[in-house]
Amino acid sequence: MAKWMEQLGPESDIIISSRIRLARNIEEFPFPVALTKNKSKELIKKVRNAILEGNTTLKNDFEGFELEELPQLEKQALVEKYLISAALVDQAEKSAVLLNKDESVSIMINEEDHIRIQCLLPGFQLNEAWNTADKIDDVLEGNIKYAFDEELGYLTSCPTNVGTGIRASVMVHLPALTMTGYINRILQAASQIGLAVRGIHGEGTEFTGNIFQISNQLTLGRNEGEIIANLKDVTLQIIQKERDARNTLLSSNRIQLEDRMYRSYGILVNARILSSQEFMKLLSDLRLAVDMKIIEGISLNVINQMMVMAQPAYLQKSAGKPLSVNERDIRRAMIVREKLTSMK
């Protein structure tokens, strides 16, 4: 289990995780889209050596994997745990990843950029994630010459990442704002002030389980501290609005709210077939019930774990064989049922 799945952080009733990602490129290599396979291998070795064989405190904490050597299910499981991107998997023959022991840090090599340093922590810990990512960035920059322009900053494959190269994001659970109909207003306001709102697995993915990823859109013209501070300020406002909406629901529709939560819990502990979409909807209700102390005895980190345990690759890995969609739905229901009943 990755650190964000096993532990809870500040504001964990609403903020599932915080992430900092830094995009960097190496001066003497073309961008990944133009890399030959031989050049990509050379670049992978250069980055691996900077971390794994350099005289750094990081070398004993990281392990490297070339994606073309990993089974498909292993690669997909890393995507499901938010440790790598689907884009990295798409070009597995030229890419690699370095992971630290608690899986709070991943360094993707040859995704859209040569290097993507990611720090993922539980709860609302943007500053802590930034501090970790910044230290790793310093280690790499001490061994590798980055593509950098004095006026523009760090040069990246996509123009929207030029400058600091930073993407700060939070994964938030906003069921009450959705139930009360205010979520669209919140999302529109976030977009108007330069923030991107995406689905659970990032760009191009749908909103499911009332979970949203909110991040900065531009990296040029502001320093890292300003970008993080802006996202923190907006997130704190969203947290307060979600809590206000929860209190409104509780005071005006308590019986209806409790009925919905207990029905969802009842399905989760008794169902024999659960589709991915139905599971995420029911899990959202259960998470809200746990947050509001309507249902007790279930911890949020277990709910975080189930989010990943119920994903297609994990289900097939745990079964030890490929599964059809129907077989996955049956196994998903079994795993969720066993996980929840074991806590009572």
The annotation status of 222 as a binding-site residue, yes or no, is no
The reply to whether 254 sits in an annotated binding site is no
Mean pLDDT across 136-160: 92
- CA dist 91 to 36, 68, 70, 116, 157, Å? 12, 9, 13, 15, 15
Q: Does residue 185 have a known ligand-binding role?
A: no
Annotated ligand binding at 48? The verdict is: no
3-243 folds as: Creatine Kinase; Chain A, domain 2 (3.30.590)
The answer on whether 74 is annotated among ligand-binding residues is no
Answer yes or no: is 202 a known binding residue: yes
- pLDDT tens column, 159-213: 888 899 999 999 999 999 999 999 989 888 888 888 888 877 555 556 789 999 9
| Distances 217 to 16, 86, 167, 192 between C-alpha atoms, Å | 20, 20, 8, 11
- Which pLDDT score is estimated for 58? 81
171 annotated to a ligand binding site? yes
Instruction: Evaluate whether 242 touches 176 at the Cβ level (below 8 Å).
Output: yes
Residue 246, marked binder: no
* Structure-token pair, residue 188: 């529109």
pLDDT at 52 over 80: yes
Q: How far is the C-alpha of 58 from the C-alpha of 51, rounded, in Å?
A: 6
> How do residues 250-269 score in pLDDT, each as one tens digit?
999 999 999 999 999 999 99
**116 is annotated as contributing to ligand binding:** yes
Domain ranges of the chain: 3-243, 254-341
Instruction: Record the pTM.
Output: 0.92
- Whether residue 307 is annotated as binding a ligand: the answer is no
Q: Is 117 annotated as a binding residue?
A: no
Provide, rounded to the nearest whole percent, the portion of the chain with pLDDT above 90.
Answer: 79
